[in-house]
Amino acid sequence: MSQLSPQGFEAPERPERFQAPTVPISCPPKTEEDCRPSPSIQSIKRCLICRKRVGLTGFRCRCGDIFCKLHRYSDSHDCSFDYKAVGREQIAKANPLIRAAKIIKI
């Protein structure tokens, strides 16, 4: 079937849309064990030093552990993160080395 467009030209025929066959997908029945969260996924947030529950007020250190308000500073929990090396890298990136030519070219 050809139709005329507003300019007077015939519009090309469009093929019928392809429809994929619908096949019901069956899921395996869930057991009670599948619904329970595993203890490794759901962990209680505690301070690494005093084991006090921190909840939402826990402080994550750069070493990756969570601490309470008393042990959040790096000197109070013997932090293994190297702050000096990170500081040196940041300074090196922010201040590139600029060298002038030793001999002036004529």
- Chain segment 20-56, per-residue pLDDT in tens: 666 666 655 565 555 555 444 446 789 989 999 998 8
Topology of the domain covering 41-79 = Zf-an1 domain (4.10.1110)
pLDDT at 99: 83
pLDDT at 33: 55
- Whether the model clears a pTM of 0.75, i.e. scores above it, the answer is no
Residue 72: both structure tokens together: 């959040």
> Per-residue pLDDT tens for 49-104?
999 999 888 999 999 889 999 998 888 888 889 999 999 999 999 998 888 878 87
Bridge partners, 59 (sequence order): 67
pLDDT at 24: 63
Confidence of residue 16 (pLDDT cuts 50, 70, 90): low
What are the residue boundaries of the structural domains of the chain, listed by start?
A: 41-79
* Three-state SS at 9: coil
Distance between CA atoms of 46 and 55, rounded to whole angstroms? 8
Average pLDDT for residues 4-8, to the nearest whole number?
Answer: 61
pLDDT at 102: 82
Sequence-ordered alpha helix ranges (H) in the chain:
32-35, 83-94
